[in-house]
Amino acid sequence: MKYALLVAAVLAFAAPAFAEEAAKEAAPAATEAVAPAAATDAAAAPAADFAKLDTNADGSLSKEEFDAAKLEGKTFEAADADKDGKVTAEELAK
Cα distances from 67 to residues 8, 15, 54, in angstroms, run 69, 60, 11
For CA atoms 48, 50, 51, 52, the dihedral sign is: positive
Give dist(CA 92, CA 57) in Å, integer.
16
Q: pLDDT tens for residues 52-80?
A: 999 999 999 999 999 998 888 889 999 99
Domain 54-94, architecture per CATH: Orthogonal Bundle (1.10)
pTM above 0.75, yes or no: no
